[in-house]
Amino acid sequence: MIQVLGHKSPDTDSTGSPIVWAWYLTEVKGTPAVPKLLGEPNTEAAFILSHWGVAKPEIISELEPGAQVVIVDTNNPLELPESLPGADVIAIIDHHLLTGGIKTKTPIDVTIRPLACTATVMIDLMGDDAAKMPDAIKAMALSCILSDTLEFRSPTTTPHDRHVAEKLAGDLGVSIPTYAAQMFAAKSDVSAFSDAELLRMDSKEYEVGGKQFRVSVLETTAPQVVLDRKASLMASMPQVATEDGADQVLLFIVDILREEATLLVPNDLVRVVAEKSFGAAVAGDTVVLPGVMSRKKQIIPVLSL
């Protein structure tokens, strides 16, 4: 049985895309496959599963030796189980920059395209077979695209992502503004999470100038709810960084509606990152970065010390 999985700290794309591709492999290609998660889905992803009546995939932390695996929505070994080298990776489908470091047992199919969402790439790969998707699978794909594009506000959005999403929404009879608002409301409800959980919820590991950073992004329509926890979040950063083998946590609070990010600045290291990466003038323990919404396109590529 092929296991389809995305990255750790699964967001909507890393929750929905494994479901979409496992359906395709099983029902269209006749190759039994099952979606897996590498952690609890975030609040938005949990909402879409409940809203559409789709079962949450099994959560795993390790891969059995020789397990056949399709990796989606990442190609970064740091975002995958440490046991990955013992598994048999048979394909990678992604939309992020090529990180390198995954060694496979045989030549494999690798598809990485400059689109906003893995689900868009998958629908392209399906071709005419995409029309066979049942409503629940179409809903997963639509949700992934709306999440990754922030309802087409993100600079990663391409006309093709939008076209695919609008076609899916039409098939489902879904109002994109109404449904996206429901998704973002779910994403913004972080009241049940500890500070450490928030700092890890949507985060990626990245090295800058010899320093290891956990780059965390919280996308929300209610940024003040997170900013009200600013002091405790900053106090939790050293412990989270130590436990995760990082030098520092960078937390960007993305205001979906105002289309800007606020970076918490707990110390001089983060101040230097803010000034050198974004040309920002830092006067306190936060700095607003107008127009910054995408970690993939506007944060990771410019981080410097």
DSSP for residue 151: T
pLDDT at 247: 96
Task: State the total domains in the chain.
Answer: 2
Q: How confident is the model at residue 202 (pLDDT cuts 50, 70, 90)?
A: confident
Structure tokens at 74: 């990442």
Return all residues near 239 (Cβ < 8 A) that are at least 6 apart. 196
149 and 243 in a single domain? The answer is: no
Q: Give the separation between CA 21 and CA 33, rounded to whole angstroms.
A: 8
**Contact present, 71 and 101 (Cβ < 8 Å):** no
Can you give the CATH number for the domain in which 11 is found?
3.90.1640.10
Q: Which of 252, 298, 249, 254 is nearest to 278 (CA)?
A: 298
Q: How confident is the model at residue 204 (pLDDT cuts 50, 70, 90)?
A: confident
Domain range holding 287? 195-302
- Amino acid type, 156: T
Q: Give the separation between CA 268 and CA 99, rounded to whole angstroms.
A: 29
Return all residues near 128 (Cβ < 8 A) that are at least 6 apart. none
Q: Is 9 helix (H, G, I), strand (E, B) or coil?
A: coil
59 and 157 in a single domain? The answer is: yes
Instruction: Read off the pLDDT of residues 162-179 as tens digits, 9 standing for 90 and up.
Output: 999 999 999 999 999 999
Q: Which of 289, 46, 44 is nearest to 188 (CA)?
A: 44
Instruction: Read off the pLDDT of residues 5-31 as tens digits, 9 standing for 90 and up.
Output: 999 989 999 999 999 999 999 999 999
135 and 208 in a single domain? The answer is: no
Cα-to-chain-centroid distance, residue 114: 15
Instruction: Read off the pLDDT of residues 245-304 as tens digits, 9 standing for 90 and up.
Output: 999 999 999 999 999 999 999 999 999 999 999 999 999 999 999 999 999 889 999 999
pLDDT at 94: 98
pLDDT at 201: 86
114 and 220 in a single domain? The answer is: no
**Contact present, 70 and 48 (Cβ < 8 Å):** no
158 and 222 in a single domain? The answer is: no
* Last-in-domain residue among 188, 215, 232: 188
CA angle 236, 239, 244 (to 5 degrees): 120
Rounded to 10 degrees, what is the CA torsion of 36, 196, 218, 135? 20
**Contact present, 203 and 214 (Cβ < 8 Å):** yes
* Last-in-domain residue among 145, 160, 188: 188
* Last-in-domain residue among 188, 206, 239: 188
Residue 156 clears pLDDT 90, i.e. is over it? yes
